[in-house]
Chains A and B, each alone.
Chain A
Amino acid sequence: MTKDQFIKQLAAELTRYGISDAANTIDYYDELIDDRLEAGETEAEIIASLATPAQIVAQLATPDKPVRQKKMAPMLIILISILLVLGSPLWGTLLLTAIILVALGYFLIWLGPFLGAIFAAAGILGGSVSLVLSFFVGLQEGWIIAVMQLGISFVMVGVGLICAGATWYMTKYLIRFSVGITRWLVGMFRSRLKVVA
């Protein structure tokens, strides 16, 4: 883990548990790591020797200043539970629609690479077979037709290679995009759950 990753994780843990002076804590570890780097230690050594961000936050949550926990009144929990059950025909349908739409979205964005892969496979395989067979066509049907088939074969292989390259780049970017959007969706879902809880 690098210093930046450590500080980011620490910041996330401090925010997650609502530690009051998060900025001071981050400043302390930021300064300490810099001082130890100046003293000749490596970033990896320093990070390995430190407590994990979760342990640091647990240590800060002393009995006199416990971790802030939002607790709901029992009556409110019962009321929300009743509303959830009564409203299930409405929110259940909406949730199902949302899930279907998200799945459809994923299907549509991945349709491009899927089609690209099919074209690439068809072009390269078909072109290669046609390339080999053009020799036998030359023997049976004449060399003019064989040269024509050879040309078409090269075009097919070329188109297949272009499709393969395009599919490769599309897949690479779509993986990043899908991971990003999935994280965003999960984060949004979690934050909604926290609000409800």
Chain B
Amino acid sequence: MHNIVLTFERVIGLNPQLKKGLLEFCVLATLKKEDSYGYQIIKDTSSVVEISDSTLYPILKRLEAQGEIESYRVEHNGRLRKYFHLTLVGQASIDSFLADWPAVMGIYTYIRECNND
């Protein structure tokens, strides 16, 4: 777990390809805490990863299309704000990611050891 936290702390300067894969899980994890909306998701994740406005939208769109999140609208200051909610599919996706992580760490350890040799 400590390794995961450390890895996330370095996500800002991460390889774009790797970062792209991790962003979806960051968004899902944020929605695990509570239902949220676009701007709030960007703010909540900003401590570990920088998600731009234009990057978040395709992620939300993709997650919704995959059934991992669902949306509903709430009236706010005379306008409708779109909130996102984590579904059971999304929860399963997070579980799967966390279950896969030890294997990823194994690969990481292997690469590091080979590099140190």
**Hey, which bits of chain A sit against chain B, CB under 8 A?**
21, 24-25, 27-29, 31-32, 34-36, 38-39, 49-51, 55-56, 59-60, 62
Residues of A within 8 A of B54 (CB): 50-51, 55-56, 59
Kindly supply a per-residue 1/0 record for chain B positions 54-85, scoring 1 wherever the CB is within 8 Å of any chain A CB and 0 otherwise. Answer: 11011011000000000000000101111000
13 new A-B contacts, CB < 8 A, other than A31-B37, A51-B54, A62-B58, are: A24-B61, A28-B38, A28-B57, A29-B53, A31-B39, A32-B53, A34-B79, A35-B40, A36-B39, A39-B39, A56-B54, A56-B57, A59-B58
Taking a contact as CB atoms under 8 Å apart, the answer to whether B82 and A28 are in contact is yes
Q: Give Cα A49 to B50, complex, Å.
A: 14
Residues of A within 8 A of B38 (CB): 28, 31-32, 35
Q: With an 8 A cutoff between CB atoms, is B15 at the interface?
A: no
The residue in chain B whose Cβ has the minimal distance to the Cβ of A28 is B57
Known A-B contacts A60-B58, A62-B58; A50 and B37 likewise in contact (beta carbons under 8 Å): no
Interface centre among B38, B54, B58, B80 (most CB of A within 10 A): B54
Known A-B contacts A27-B82, A38-B77; A51 and B52 likewise in contact (beta carbons under 8 Å): yes
Taking a contact as CB atoms under 8 Å apart, the answer to whether B58 and A31 are in contact is no
Q: Give Cα A12 to B55, complex, Å.
A: 20
Minimal beta-carbon separation of A49 from chain B (angstroms): 8
Residues of B within 8 A of A35 (CB): 37-40, 81
